[in-house]
Amino acid sequence: MTEAVQLFSRKRFSGHWLSNMLKIAPALLLVAASHLFAGTDWEQTPWFEHFPPSIQAKLKANPDLDLTDKSILKLWDDYFDASDAESRIAVSGLKKSLTIRQLDEESRDLAAYLQARLQGQKHRVAVMMPSSPELMVVLLGVIRAGYVPVIVLTAGDNDLLTQKLKKQLQLSKPSAMIGMATHSKVIQDALEGAQQEDNPDGDSYTSMPLIVSGLFDTDQTTGLVAGATRWLRSTGASWTGITQSLPAGAVTLKSAIQEGSDKQVAKVRMGLDDEALVQFTSGTTGNPKAISITQKNLLANLEQVGDVLRFQMEGAPPQPSLWMPLPMTHAFGLMIAMGAMPLLKGSLQLVTDPRNPEELFSTLGSSKPDALFGVDKLLAGITGEKGQPKTLNAMGDKKPTMIVAGASAIKQTTRDSVKATLGVDITEGYGMSESTVGIALEMKPGQGLVPLPYIDVRIAKIPEDELLQEEQFDLNNYEVQSGDEGELFVSGDNICGGYDQCPEETAKTFVTDSNRVRWIRTGDNAAFNPNGTLRITARAKEIIVVNGQNVNPEKLESIAAQMGDIEETMAFGVPKDPAYPAGDERVALIVRPKVRANVSSIDVVNFLNTSKRLETYETPLSELVHIVPHDAVLPRNPLTKPLRTFLKREALSQLRSTYGSQSQELQPKDITGIFAAMSLKPGK
């Protein structure tokens, strides 16, 4: 029996689920009863009616997701076969553009070079580059060679970036690496550090083939978009990096492509269970982890997302322009660039530094996009009081067909400003790296999330001290009543297998029930709306989300604990807007000092800044560092695990008690006063 069949042959409408259905749609009772033990009957899900007719018809005709003859290589081959490939632009960024034919040929030549250099199959290749046409060439070159791109992070100052890269190399164990010349020292130091820690007598890291791009080796005044200098500095590089010596044995990307032009690309066979790519995530607990995405995961999510995107893009030109300001190290950005673009036969406009307003508006003007992708803060910025005139000037008479936003909840004020400026409603999406990316999307803007086709969801409450034993629990027994809030569980072919070298975290996050259905515990709280759509109500997980970036509370606490006057700390997220607890957050830190220690919030922040181990977004403002008495007891469970999510809930309760539940973005000084009123005792 296939996994898809198993998904629905598990008494789907028994227990809580059937009673929930009665409350959501009483008219479905007779239909549901006749299908209690049927196979894959998506019509019985409370959200089915929200699918457009085309998707409903597909689910009725093909209730099991069929990936036969699907291939990421075939998807791109179809894209490259465009009749106007010689002239049509495929991707633009950093004031450089590649036609479809150029992207095809350069990635093919790189693939040939990699095959000749690495030999064999299934190699992982670490890729450390910003969003750019060159990055598209590199990712496609690695994939077309039959290898696996490992997308490593590119942000942080020199020392911090070196440590990040070293850890990611140790987790992913690549056979080769492709990066920028401006990161030469970072790459060299990270490789040497990983080698010293893992095997001082070996050379598995220090001897790996290196390819470096001269991405920024150009005239500083004319060759780069404004703001690139700042981007370089924010990623551990600088103009002085251009003159750095290349790591020993490294070749340039340009020479690798040229050398590959004389070689043939061996035919590549990819099975559904083969690894497609590796990306890094903070997971549901905040510790960085490597996620292996299989061909099945990737193709399933493309199929799931693709049906909805095609529906949303009805009325758009046949070769739409896509504006994508999200980094391709982010799962959302990666899926748009590597999946949605060829699926929609579009042209992609990349933004290297989305913090640079000039680049945002200049790329909007040059691409006149039919589809925009972003996050709440970015979209609010380009359509708010200051950004609106520039966006209107850039877009001219052009009105996009679709605007998709994710990463955190979208505020109503952002929806309103986007509609007023661009004439289009935001379509909100929800997903995570562990699900390849997509889980749910609004079918009608503002009316609730709808799980993507072929994805099943449950809302359950699991006691905090209860461990779900593999294949020994029935999720039906934990489901909440209709409309009640609980943790969101998700199942589907897009859910990845787990975290590399992290068996304990994998066991906590990915669980298989007694019907052998594999679920991911998202760590987010959700509830069903009366109409059967889904809403994300809060974050049950401990990570803190700041402007779409994940902050690991354990990392912050461990660094703060090294301050001599501190006995204990606990970090948690406080929503910027009490009306959107699943939206953007600020980092808060409770500090318990040692006996007779005299420590202030400013002292703590200064210590964190001088540690040079935290990004700016990971560091709390002094107004959000709360010092408690030395004999205070911070909340922990009987096993001494910190109850950070309790502090999140307590902070939200105090914010709403003080300011109400109306939408308003609170400033740090507005939040300071709630800490003294917060209870540190669960249940009190």
Taking 80 as the threshold, does the pLDDT of residue 27 lie above it?
Answer: no
In a domain, 265, yes or no: yes
Give the pLDDT of residue 665.
Answer: 84
Taking 50 as the threshold, does the pLDDT of residue 474 lie above it?
Answer: yes
Q: Which of 388, 408, 433 delimits the end of a domain?
A: 433
Q: What's the rounded Cα separation, in Å, for the pair 484 and 526?
A: 8
Domain encompassing residue 194? 99-269
Taking Cα atoms as reference points, which of 365, 290, 377 lies closest to residue 326? Answer: 377
Beta strands in 443-517 (DSSP E): 449-451, 456-460, 486-491, 510-512
Give the pLDDT of residue 322.
Answer: 95
Band the pLDDT of 640: cuts 50, 70, 90.
Answer: low
pLDDT digits (tens, 9 = 90+) for 555-585: 888 889 889 888 889 999 898 888 888 778 8
Q: Are both 108 and 255 inside the same structural domain?
A: yes
Taking 50 as the threshold, does the pLDDT of residue 496 lie above it?
Answer: yes
Amino acid at the residue 542: E
Total structural domains within the chain: 3
Q: Are both 302 and 258 inside the same structural domain?
A: no
pLDDT digits (tens, 9 = 90+) for 502-537: 888 888 889 998 888 999 999 888 899 999 999 888
Q: What's the rounded Cα separation, in Å, for the pair 520 and 59?
A: 23
Taking 80 as the threshold, does the pLDDT of residue 285 lie above it?
Answer: no
Structure tokens at 458: 């449950």
In a domain, 555, yes or no: yes
Q: Are both 374 and 429 inside the same structural domain?
A: yes
Q: Are both 259 and 302 inside the same structural domain?
A: no
Residues with Cβ within 8 Å of residue 214, at least 6 apart in sequence: 180, 181, 252, 253, 254
Q: What's the rounded Cα separation, in Å, for the pair 156 and 224?
A: 21
Q: Are both 662 and 595 inside the same structural domain?
A: yes
Q: Are both 265 and 301 inside the same structural domain?
A: no
Taking 90 as the threshold, does the pLDDT of residue 106 lie above it?
Answer: yes
Q: Are both 391 and 251 inside the same structural domain?
A: no
In a domain, 33, yes or no: no
Q: Are both 112 and 246 inside the same structural domain?
A: yes
Residues with Cβ within 8 Å of residue 382, at least 6 apart in sequence: 360, 361, 364, 388, 390, 391, 421
Task: Please report, for the domain that includes residue 326, its CATH number.
Answer: 3.40.50.980
Counting residues of the chain whose pLDDT is more than 70, the rounded percentage is 86
In a domain, 442, yes or no: no
Give the pLDDT of residue 244.
Answer: 58
Band the pLDDT of 105: cuts 50, 70, 90.
Answer: very high
Q: Check if the beta carbon of residue 231 is closer than 8 Å to that of residue 356.
A: yes
More reliable by pLDDT, 133 or 376 = 133
Band the pLDDT of 490: cuts 50, 70, 90.
Answer: very high
Beta strands in 35-137 (DSSP E): 89-93, 96-99, 124-127
Q: Which of 229, 250, 269 delimits the end of a domain?
A: 269
Band the pLDDT of 360: cuts 50, 70, 90.
Answer: very high
pTM of the complete model beyond 0.75 = yes
Torsion of Cα atoms, 623 then 627 then 628 then 634, to 10°: 80
Q: Are both 316 and 248 inside the same structural domain?
A: no
Give the pLDDT of residue 238.
Answer: 44
Structure tokens at 314: 């009805």
* Phi (first) and psi of residue 643, to 5 degrees: -100, 70
Taking 50 as the threshold, does the pLDDT of residue 1 lie above it?
Answer: no
Q: What's the rounded Cα separation, in Å, for the pair 314 and 92?
A: 24
What is the overall mean pLDDT for the chain?
83
Give the pLDDT of residue 352.
Answer: 86
Taking 90 as the threshold, does the pLDDT of residue 649 lie above it?
Answer: no
More reliable by pLDDT, 7 or 244 = 244
Q: Are both 177 and 320 inside the same structural domain?
A: no
In a domain, 388, yes or no: yes
pLDDT digits (tens, 9 = 90+) for 596-621: 889 999 999 999 998 888 888 899 99
* Residues forming a β-bridge with 570: 590
Give the pLDDT of residue 410.
Answer: 83
Give the pLDDT of residue 220.
Answer: 37
More reliable by pLDDT, 602 or 464 = 602
Q: Which of 418, 433, 448 delimits the end of a domain?
A: 433
Q: Are both 263 and 409 inside the same structural domain?
A: no
Q: Check if the beta carbon of residue 290 is closer than 8 Å to that of residue 500.
A: yes
Residues with Cβ within 8 Å of residue 387, at least 6 apart in sequence: 357, 361, 381
Q: Are both 105 and 218 inside the same structural domain?
A: yes
